[in-house]
Structure 1
Amino acid sequence: MGYKRKSWKHILFVFLLSFTLAVVAGLGTEILMRKTNIFIALILLLVIIIINIGFDVIGIAATAATEKPHHAKAANRVPGARQTVFLVRHADTVANFANDIVGDVTGALSGGMSASIVLEMLQTYPGLGSHEIWIDTLMIALVASVTVTGKAVGKTFAIQKADEIMGRVGFVIARLEELTGWTFTDKRRKGGKQSGDPRKD
């Protein structure tokens, strides 16, 4: 029963987080798309694709990284090292957030944005109306190919530089914790031990 309750809580959390991110990001991009020209819209689309690829790299790096190189840095109080150990120890959660939640949301956004760009192009240049199906198909194919190629290149980079990537992510999170005063990576059990079992190197 405890496992089922935990599973349902996790599923509900993932659903609500995905829904919230999709609504916020969707509204934001839709408003920007309506108030910008085609060139700016294309830049926004590229940014969304880069975010998608970037988080995919982080998710893969989290599963490929090991704790050992970061423990010594954490002992020496290197900024971000403790956060990196936490992230690597919870690699499954990091990968789920980066690859599944952020990846799927940005993927859906890029698809919607490409459709909006095509519609804007047809409204701006009515003469292209007779080629709508080809323009739409080429836009979708271009977005898909850029995303897939970027992820393929990023996967190799993530595996080869996993510890370095996670170290940088940990450093960024450490700075965010300092700025906001919130602690995202210091969940502890009774007795002061960090939650989660250590990853085997």
Structure 2
Amino acid sequence: MKNKNINTNYKWILHITIITFFLATILNFFSDVALKESNLLVAFCILGFIVLIGIIFDIIGTAVISGREEPFHAMAAKKVFGAKEAIKLLRNANIVANFCNDVVGDISGIVSGAALMAIIVKLAFEGPKGSIYTAILGGLLSAITIGGKAIGKNIGIAKSQSIVYTVAVIFAWIEKNTGIKILPDYKNNNKNNKRKKRK
């Protein structure tokens, strides 16, 4: 049996690794500092925000996998702002989904777990009852995270085109104002096909 060649984008792997490092470091740092200085209400709000980040990125990852290129090609032909970036997102769906669903999902899960432990320390649970309360809070966190992602996946599939375009507009704005290309350029297959037919 012949081994299949696997195309590995080492540049993107390095890019995503650096982004993951800084994202995880920033989230861990700010959540740790904020939780130490806040009361219980604010601490629970911070925990909710961390969980929400994971759910939002899960929605984006699902939307990119579910989205279709065709409507954005028509928009790109009319030079609609963000249309080309939408095509980039869909052409790099596996990379984007991996980052949104796995990388950000894992980071938010780890950080939210650490945030919950900080809250438990603030509540000063002790003895057998403390173990029960800790287990209940941990179960609630897991249920909210998993339930939120389940709902998010349905939203991502149902509203895939509008979600992809919204993210694409944000990317386009960043590229326009900073010059930083978040995703690699795509090749216009339609033009390439026309050239082949002429030959």
TM-score, length of structure 1 as denominator length:
0.82
1:92 maps to 2:94 = yes
1:134 matched to which residue of 2?
132
The answer to whether the 8 Å contact 1:186/1:194 transfers is: no
Matched residue, 2:176: 178
**Which residue of structure 1 lines up, in the alignment, with residue 146 of structure 2?**
148
What count of residue pairs does the alignment treat as equivalent?
184
- 1:108 matched to which residue of 2? 110
The Cα shift of 1:187 comes to 2.8
Q: Which letter maps to 1:65?
A: G
Q: In 2, distance between residues paired with 1:172 and 1:7?
A: 24
CA distance in 1, matches of 2:116, 2:157: 30
Distance 1:153 1:48 in 2: 17
Q: Which runs of 5+ in 2 are unaligned?
A: 190-199
Residue 40 of structure 2 is aligned with which of 30, 38, 41?
Answer: 38
For 1:22 and 1:194, locate their aligned partners in 2 and report how far apart those are by CA, in whole Å. 35
| TM-aligned CA deviation for residue 169 of structure 1 | 0.8
Comparing 14-23 with 166-175, greater Cα deviation is found at 14-23
Equivalent in the alignment of 1:125: none
Shift of 1:21: 2.4
| Cα offset, 1:12, TM superposition | 5.8
SS at match of 2:126: helix
Identify which of 76, 80, 83 aligns with 1:81: 83
Task: Report the equivalent of 1:56.
Answer: 58
Q: Given that residues 59 and 98 in structure 1 are in contact (C-alpha distance below 8 angstroms), is that contact kept between their aligned partners in structure 2?
A: yes
User: Shift in Å at residue 184 of structure 1?
Assistant: 2.2
Q: Is the 8 A contact 1:57 1:158 kept in 2?
A: yes
CA contact (8 A) 1:56 1:98 kept: yes
CA distance in 1, matches of 2:156, 2:122: 36
Per-residue deviation at 1:155?
0.8
CA distance in 1, matches of 2:21, 2:177: 27
Which letter maps to 2:137?
A: M
CA contact 1:187–1:194 (8 Å) conserved in 2:
no
CA distance in 2 between counterparts of 1:16 and 1:172 reads 20
1:6 Cα shift? 3.7
Does residue 73 of structure 2 align to residue 71 of structure 1?
yes
The answer to whether the Cα contact below 8 Å between 1:65 and 1:163 also exists between their aligned partners in 2 is yes
- State percent identity of aligned pairs: 32
Distance 1:83 1:25, change over 3 A: same
TM-score calculated relative to the size of structure 2: 0.83
Secondary structure of 1:55's aligned partner: helix
Distance 1:39 1:57 in 2: 27
CA RMSD of aligned residues (A): 2.3
Say whether residues 1:159 and 2:157 are aligned partners: yes
